[in-house]
Chain A
C-alpha cells in the first residue's frame, strides 16, 4: 500500500511536468518559430500599420458604409472576444423569436434597396458570437446599402467582395464564405475611410 502511494504521487508529479508543462512550452516554442502570425492571433493592420483586429474574430460595424457581420451573443453588447458565447436559445424560445423580429425590422429599414428575403445568417447569432464570416449571398444582400453610403457604383463594391470569397477547402470541406473585416478594410483602402457616424446615431 505504501509503495502504491509513493508511485501514485511520483507519477502525478512526473506526468504533470511532462504533459502539463514541458509539452505546452515546447509547442509554444515551435509555434512561435514556425507560424508566429497565426500563433499570436492572426492580427490585421490598416493602411497606417495600426492593428485594427484579428482576421478570425468578428467586430461590430454600425456605419452603413461597412458590411455588417452576424449578430453576436458574446458579452452584453456583442463581439466581446473575452467572453465568447452563443445565444443558446432553442427553437421554441419566445426570446429568440422577438430578437429575430427586431433584427429583421432593423435590417429591412437599413437596407431599403436590398432584394429578396433576409438571409438567415444575418438574423441568427453564431455559435461563438465571434463568427468573422458571412456567406457570399449575405454580403450581396447588404451590398446596395454599402455602395450607396460610399457613393460608388455597386459593381465596384461587388468586385471587392468577389475577390474576397474563400471557397470550400479542396472544393469539399466547409462552406464558401467572405471575411467581413477583410472586405471592409479592402473597401477603405480602395475608396477611403467613410466619415464616422454622428455620435447620437451610433447607439441606436
Chain B
C-alpha cells in the first residue's frame, strides 16, 4: 500500500461525492420535474419519438400495466437481439465475415444484455460483427437501463407520492420513463464520454482488422471497430459488456490512466446520484443522504480490504526470487497497477456493472472475495442504474420492519405503514436471489458438465462457479473468467438465471418455466402508492440519520453473511489459508 495509492482512492471518492448532487438534481428534473431540462433542444425529439411510437405521455399506468409494458418490451427486444446474432453473417457491417453466433451462446448473450447483465461468454472481437455489437448489444445497454430506471422510479413513487384517496393508484408511464432516460440522460452523457475516450486512445471506426508486420517481422492482426460509443454507455449504464474479450483491460478500450479514471467514475456517477434524486422525491434530502452514507461505508469497506490484500505478493511465487513490490501483478495492466485495478473491481461489483480492467480470477483469495461479496450483498452499494436504488429500498423496508418489531409498533416509512404484504414481497425478493445462486452452484459442482469448464482446481474452482452464478443472478456480468462459460449448460442455465435474477426485482421470474409471476418490487410500489400517509409522531422511528444507517448496514451484512458465508468459507477463505501454507492445485 502506498500513499499515492490511497490518494487515488480518495480522489475517486471525492469525485463521486461531488457529482452526486448535480446529477441527482438533473435526474429529478428529467423524471419528476414539471418541465424537463433544455426543453428547446430535447423537447422536440421527445415529442417526435412519442408520435412515432404512439405513446400518449399524459397517460398514467397502475403497477400491472407498467409491469406488462416493461415485460413485453423486454421480451421483444430479447428476440430482436437473438435474431441479429443469428443472422449477422447476412447483415451489413461484418468486415471479418464472422459466422452466425451459435444458438445457445446467442440465447445466453441476448438474455444477458436484456437483463443488463452483460456476461460475456464470447470474445467480442472473434464472435460479434460490428452491427451485432452496436444494434444488438449496445442498443440493450441503453434500453435495459431505461427499464431499470423505470422500476426504480416506480417504487420511489410508491413510497413518496401522496395521492388523494379517490385518485387512481398509478405509478407513472413506462414508455415516458424509458424514453426520457434515453433522450435526456444516457445519450447526452454517452456522447461526451465517447469523445473523451477516443481522445484517450479508444477506437471508433468501421475498418476491417489491420494486418501488419511487427518490428521483428511477425504478422500481427489488430481488431478494430466502433468501440468508444459502446464503452461510454456500457460504463454509464452499469452494463459492462465490453467490445473486446478482456473488456476495459484492453488498451483499445482504455489506453490511458485518464480514460480508466473516467470510466470508473462513470460506473458509480448515476447510481450515486439516484440516492440524491430519491431524497428530492421524498421531500427530505436527508433520506437520500442516509442511503448514500450506508452505500459509501460499504464501498470503503470493500475497496480497503481489496487494496490491502492485493498489494500483498501473489502466494504462488513463494520461494521464487521475484520482486513483488508492486503487489499481485498477474492479470493486471502496468498502466493501472494494483490501485486502479481494485478500485475498479470494487466499483464494478458494488454497481451491477461487471466491466473489468483486471482479471478478478487471478486476484489473491481475500481480494477476490470482495467483488464476490459485493455482488452477493445484492449490488446495492450505489448499485446498478435503477437497480441499485430499488435493491436498497427493499432492504430499507426489511430494516424498518425489524426496527418495528424491536419497538413493538407497526413500522412506517416516509409516513406510509409497512404491512405484511410489503414485507412478504420484500422477503421474496431477498430470498430468490440466494436460492438461484446457491442451488445452481451446488448443481454445477456435482455435475460433470458443470465441472468440465473449470480453469482452476481446488477451492478456487468452487469460487469460479460461485462467482459465475452470483454474477448472473445479480446481473453483474463480471467473471472469474477462467471458467469456460461458453458451453450449453452454462449458456442456458445462466441465461435463465439472469432473467430470473433480473426480473425477480422487476416483475417476472422465469423460474421453472413459469413465465409470469407477480413482480415483487412493482407490486410493492403498487401497494404503497395508494396508502394514506400517517403524520409523524413520537413513536416514529427516524429513517434519516446515523442510527438508521447503522441498522440498515447491520441488516444488509447479516442477511448477506448468513446466506453466503458457508459457501465463501469453502471457496476464497479456505483458499487463502491453503495459499499461505504454500499449497497449489
Contacts and interface: CB of A to CB of B under 8 A. Distances in A.
A126 B322 contact: no
A12 B543 CA distance: 40
Interface in B176-224: 178-179, 182, 186-187, 190-191, 194-195, 198-207, 209-210, 212-218, 220-224
Interface string B240-257: 000011100111100111
Contact of B252 (A56, A89, A124, A129): A56
Interface of A: 3-12, 14-16, 18-21, 23-24, 26-28, 30-32, 34-35, 38-43, 46, 50-57, 59-63, 66, 70, 79-94, 96-97, 100-101, 104, 116-121, 123-135, 137, 168-169, 172-175, 177, 181, 184-185, 188, 196
Contact of A82 (B52, B223, B459): B223
Interface of B: 4, 7-8, 11, 49, 52-55, 65, 68-69, 72-73, 76-77, 80, 123, 125-126, 134-136, 138-139, 141-143, 175, 178-179, 182, 186-187, 190-191, 194-195, 198-207, 209-210, 212-218, 220-224, 226, 228-230, 233, 244-246, 249-252, 255-258, 260-261, 313-317, 320-326, 328-337, 339-341, 356-359, 361-365, 368, 455-460, 463, 480-482, 575, 578-579, 583-585
A32 B215 contact: no
Nearest to B318: A97
Contacts of A52: 212-215
B482 A35 contact: no
Given A86-B362, A173-B261, 15 more contacts: A15-B179, A38-B201, A41-B224, A42-B255, A81-B222, A89-B362, A90-B480, A91-B365, A97-B317, A128-B333, A134-B334, A175-B257, A175-B334, A175-B336, A196-B216
Contacts of A57: 220, 222, 251-252
B460 A39 contact: no
A197 to B, nearest CB: 8
A19 B139 contact: yes
18 contacts: A7-B55, A12-B80, A19-B143, A31-B228, A56-B252, A90-B361, A90-B368, A92-B456, A94-B585, A97-B316, A97-B317, A104-B320, A118-B322, A120-B325, A124-B332, A173-B261, A174-B257, A174-B261
B260 A24 contact: no
B575 A92 contact: yes
B362 A91 contact: yes
A126 B249 contact: yes
Nearest to B363: A91
Instruction: Count chain B CB atoms within 10 A of each CB in A61, A118, A175 and give the residue with the most.
Output: A175
Contact of B456 (A70, A93, A137): A93
A147 to B, nearest CB: 18
Given A86-B331, A86-B359, A131-B251, A93 B126 contact: no
Given A20-B138, A90-B361, A31 B175 contact: no
Contacts of A46: 215
A14 B49 CA distance: 7
B14 to A, nearest CB: 12
B77 A81 contact: no
A173 B257 contact: yes
Contacts of A104: 320-322
A18 B257 CA distance: 31
Contact of B330 (A12, A116, A124, A132): A124
Contact of A10 (B54, B138, B220, B481): B54
- Choose among A31, A80, A83, A116 the residue with the greatest number of B CB atoms under 10 Å from its CB: A31
A31 B198 contact: yes
Contacts of A100: 316-317, 320, 322
A39 B216 CA distance: 25
A181 B222 CA distance: 15
Contacts of B314: 91, 120, 124
A72 to B, nearest CB: 11
Most buried by A among B138, B335, B584: B335
Contact of B328 (A66, A91, A97): A91
A130 B322 CA distance: 22
Contact of A172 (B7, B194, B217, B222): B7
A85 B246 contact: yes
B335 to A, nearest CB: 5
Contacts of A79: 220
B315 A8 contact: no
A94 B363 CA distance: 15
A23 B11 CA distance: 32
A8 B482 contact: no
